[in-house]
Amino acid sequence: GMLTKIKEENKKLIIRNVNEVIFKDDIDENLLNGVLELIENVITIKSPPNLKDIISRKSKQVLSIEEELSSEEEINEEIGNIVSGVGGLVGKIVSRVLGSKDFSINIGSHLRVVYDGPLKVNDKLNIEVDGGVVKLSKGEPHLLAKCSYIGDLEINDNGISADGCYIKISYPDLNQLRVSVDGGKVEINEIKVNDLKIDMDGGLISLNVKCKDMVDITLDGGKVDGKVQFEDTTKARLNIDIDGGMGKIDVSIPKDFSVITSSRVDGGVARLPPNRAGNKGELIITANVDGGIVTINEI
C-alpha cells in the first residue's frame, strides 16, 4: 500500500541509516523496481529471492542481503494484543522500540579488513560495541574485522572493542561472556556460556545460547530476542531488566526442574512461565520492567 501511494504521487522511496529492512514476499517486483530509489547505510536486508536482484542493484553501504523471511507479522500481532490490553503508554514504547528502529548506527562508507586471524583463548571474553555489527559463533578462535580505520578496533587478552565495525568471531565455549552494546547489532549463536551478561543501550541482540549458571540482560531502549537453553546445571538464574525496550526469549528448561518467577512492572508488560515444583534443580526467573515489554516462553 505504501509503495502504491508513492507511485501514485510520482515520488521515490529512499531508505537510510537503519539497522534492518525486511521485504515481504507479496510485494510486486515491477512496483518495487519503479518506486525504490536507494537503500543506504543499512546493516541487514531480508528479502525474498524474487526481489533480491532489484534490491541489490539499488543498495549502497549495506553489509548483508539475506534470502529469508521474518516473523515480524507474528511479533506485531502479539504486541497489538498486549497494547490493546494495557493502554497507550506501552503503545508509545513499542512505537519507539520497533517502529523507528533508528538506533543511529553508522556503518561507515569505506570498511576494509583490519584483522583476519587467530585469537588468544581465554575462558572469559568481553565484547564492547559502539555501533556496527558483531556475530559470535562457536568454533576455532578466529576474528574477522572490517572497520573504517584500524584504530576503530582494539584486541587484548580477554576482550574486543570496536567502533562502527563489522566483526565476525568464532570462539570455543566460555565460562564468562560480557557484552556491552551502544547502538549496535549483536548475534550470539550456538555457543555455550556458563555466565552471560549483556548490557545494551539502544541496539538489537539475537541469542541462541546454552547456559549453565546465569543469564543477565539489561536493556535501555533496545530489543533482544532468541533462545536460551539451560543444561548441565542444578541451579540457574535468568534476569531481565528493561527500561523502554523489548525482550522476547524462548527458554529450554530441564525436566523435573522447579521454576520460580517474580516480576516488578511499572508501565509495561511481563509475561513469564508459570511457577512449578521439581526435584532435580531450579531456575529462578526475574523481570524488572520500567516502560517496556518482556515475554519469556518455555519451550
pLDDT for position 112: 87
pLDDT for position 291: 79
pLDDT for position 68: 61
Q: Is the separation of the CB atoms in 118 and 171 below 8 Å?
A: no
For the full predicted model, state whether its pTM sits above 0.85. no
pLDDT for position 246: 86
Q: Is the separation of the CB atoms in 60 and 110 below 8 Å?
A: no
pLDDT per residue over 34-76, tens digit each? 999 999 888 788 899 899 889 988 988 777 788 764 444 443 4
- Rounded to 5, what percent of the chain is helix, strand, coil? 20, 60, 25
Angle among Cα 118, 185, 265 to the nearest 5 degrees reads 130
pLDDT per residue over 109-156, tens digit each? 568 899 999 999 999 999 998 888 899 999 999 999 999 889 999 998
Backbone angles phi, psi at 93, to 5 degrees: -65, -45
Strands 258-266 and 282-290: parallel
Termini Cα distance of the chain: 36
Q: Compute how many other C-beta atoms are within 10 angstroms of the C-beta atom of residue 131.
A: 23
Helix (H) or strand (E) run with residue 280 in it: none
- Name the H helices within the chain: 2-8, 29-35, 52-57, 72-86, 88-94
Closest CA to 183 of 101, 99, 63, 103: 103
Distance of CA 130 to the CA centre of its chain: 14
pLDDT higher than 60, residue 175: yes
Closest CA to 75 of 56, 97, 48, 51: 97
Return the higher-pLDDT residue of 104 and 31. 31
CA atoms within 13 A on the CB side of 81: 7
Q: What percent of the chain is predicted at pLDDT more than 70?
A: 86
Distance of CA 270 to the CA centre of its chain: 19
Strand partners, 156: 159
